[in-house]
Structure 1
Amino acid sequence: MPDTVVITRPRAQAEELARMVAAAGRTAVVLPLLEIEPLADQSQLMQVLAGLDGYAMVAFVSPNAVDAAFAHIQRWPSGVTLAVVGTGSRAALARHGIIDTDIVSPADPAHSDSEHLLESLDLSSLAGRRVLIVRGESGRELMADSLRAAGVLVETVAAYRRSVPQLTPEMKASLAGLLEQQNDWIITSSEALRGLLDLLRQMDADKAVAKMQQQHLIVPHARIADTARALGINRVTLTGSGDERLLAALQSRE
């Protein structure tokens, strides 16, 4: 079994998981494949957040969305429901002191995505009411489109931007070193995985990609597993949502 676990989350969300991996006796390498940055112009975000009490529900698509929004939120308005897609976002809310407020999330914590969040919502009660979706500059439209189809008055606001890092000499050296051995790679974003393959193509279109296709991936969502297989990576373990499931998958390989 390989000793090294490569954690590819944005750095701010990777450190705690890295500590847990190390506590489990494995070597954790943090290699962020997405960079999360604040918006250059946050005026629209701040204007929207100033009127939160006008919404029936506010949905956060990720922990990044929670953190970026709560940098500007002093107090959560009473009577406004929060919705999140997974345990990571619940934990982010807790860091900002939001625990007892009404929070809606997928009924099965193993399935943290927009589809399962929609199944947990009482759409009929939201029809004709305003709902805000806080997200990055880009993202899937599934939640917004589905809510609108149910008669919900949906607004979206960007709270941050994300990008794949550049292939610096340091990144190239890190990737080359990691690909010289077999590792377990924790991949929690399809966008990050596609970006990784793009970086490898810039290094060496054939050899680097071929080496990555022999690595083992641990992923929390079927959509990421499908992306991996489409990119020629077939050694994939699907865990379901939550760090405890990722760690359990690592421990099962011992």
Structure 2
Amino acid sequence: MSNKTIVITRPSGQARQLSEALLVSLRNSGFTPESTPKIIALPLLTIAPKGDGFLVEQITVALKTADLAIFVSPNAIECTMRLLECSWQELSSNPVPIGVMGGSSMLALKNHGIGAEGNHTQIILPQNNAQWDSEGLWTELQNLRWNWSTKKVIIFKGEGGRDWLADTLKNAGAQVEAFSVYARVPLDLNSSAWNEIHEMNFAKSLWLLTSSEAVRHLGGAKLPLDLATAICPHHNITDAAEHIGFGEVITCEPGDEALIAASQAWLSI
């Protein structure tokens, strides 16, 4: 086993998917069991779906008159569909178009059959994966040439998070209603999940950081991050990683493929 370690900081299910994809890519690239790094899952945040009936009723009513629904993340898709317990097209006489910000969200929609129906749901995604964020989706939405003052937009999100897109839509004249469908619960600093972290060689560690909020929580763990390297798929996450003291921070394009390619580049050094 290599003396290098890769730490994946996503919630458990997403961490497992990325870990498996990373291992397959490493094997295909010629890494042997001896040269493959140790991969540690450290779920800095746990996704806690909301499930009250009143929220379901609010969402169902809002979607009947919505012109566009935006999911800010795969978690927003999974938690919303779990809440509604029906197909997307059952919620309105005409399928409500959906805006998403990245490939992982597209995959989550596909897993729910959204976009592959007979009368398929329109899905709006930034075409360039370098723009898989709120700003990129807004650029794509502007290409629709809609009169936003006549449009109602529903945004599905977690508690907290960025409000940039909601504010931008409101400033353009849209009626915006946001629903928080999950909460993010920080990993207890006394959890046994930290044990492997405390024992590893930080100078040989690579951290895959995909959430600014998770990075801020990591900063409270008082670890020797100045010895470690981080890979971040967005400049906001990069700023957060630099702020908590990572020794080296690499910014890559959004998406798991870019994270994996950047990880392999680090391993080859």
TM-score (norm 2): 0.84
Answer yes or no: is 1:225 the counterpart of 2:247: no
5+ unaligned residues in a row in structure 2: which ranges? none
Return the alpha-carbon distance in structure 1 between the equivalents of residues 249 and 4 of structure 2: 17
How far 1:128 sits from its partner (Å)? Answer: 2.1
- 1:98 aligns with one of 109, 114, 125: 114
Return the alpha-carbon distance in structure 2 between the equivalents of residues 116 and 198 of structure 1: 31
- Mark the CA change 1:14 to 1:48 in structure 2 (over 3 Å): closer, same or farther: same
- 2:167 aligns with one of 145, 165, 177: 145
SS of the residue 2:87 aligns to:
coil
Q: State the Cα RMSD in Å.
A: 1.8
**Structure 1 equivalent of residue 177 of structure 2:** 155
Structure 1, 226-235 or 240-249: larger mean CA deviation? 226-235
Aligned ranges for residues 67-106 of structure 1 at < 5 Å?
67-71=78-82, 72-77=84-89, 78-100=94-116, 101-106=121-126
**Structure 2 equivalent of residue 244 of structure 1:** 257
Aligned ranges for residues 98-247 of structure 1 at < 5 Å?
98-100=114-116, 101-122=121-142, 124-200=146-222, 208=223, 211-247=224-260
Q: 2:202, 2:225 within 8 Å by CA — same for their partners in 1? A: no
TM-score (norm 1): 0.89
After superposition, the C-alpha distances for 1:110-168 in whole angstroms (9 at most, x for unaligned) are 22211111111136333222110000121211111110110100001110100211112
- Mark the CA change 1:196 to 1:179 in structure 2 (over 3 Å): closer, same or farther: farther
SS of the residue 1:213 aligns to:
helix
After superposition, the C-alpha distances for 1:86-114 in whole angstroms (9 at most, x for unaligned) are 11111111111113321112232122211
Return the alpha-carbon distance in structure 2 between the equivalents of residues 148 and 155 of structure 1: 10
**Structure 2 equivalent of residue 8 of structure 1:** 9
How far 1:73 sits from its partner (Å)? Answer: 4.2
- Mark the CA change 1:42 to 1:169 in structure 2 (over 3 Å): closer, same or farther: closer
**Structure 2 equivalent of residue 21 of structure 1:** 22
Q: 1:10, 1:33 within 8 Å by CA — same for their partners in 2? A: yes
Return the alpha-carbon distance in structure 1 between the equivalents of residues 88 and 148 of structure 2: 19
How far 1:196 sits from its partner (Å)? Answer: 0.7
Q: 2:149, 2:173 within 8 Å by CA — same for their partners in 1? A: yes
- Mark the CA change 1:169 to 1:150 in structure 2 (over 3 Å): closer, same or farther: closer
SS of the residue 1:110 aligns to:
helix
- Mark the CA change 1:169 to 1:58 in structure 2 (over 3 Å): closer, same or farther: closer
Percent identity of paired positions between Structure 1 and Structure 2: 33
- Mark the CA change 1:225 to 1:2 in structure 2 (over 3 Å): closer, same or farther: farther
The residue type paired with residue 70 of structure 2 is A
Return the alpha-carbon distance in structure 2 between the equivalents of residues 140 and 73 of structure 1: 27
Q: State the aligned residue count.
A: 244
Structure 1, 51-60 or 21-30: larger mean CA deviation? 21-30
Return the alpha-carbon distance in structure 2 between the equivalents of residues 121 and 141 of structure 1: 16
How far 1:179 sits from its partner (Å)? Answer: 4.8
SS of the residue 1:121 aligns to:
helix
5+ unaligned residues in a row in structure 1: which ranges? 201-207
Return the alpha-carbon distance in structure 1 between the equivalents of residues 210 and 66 of structure 2: 30
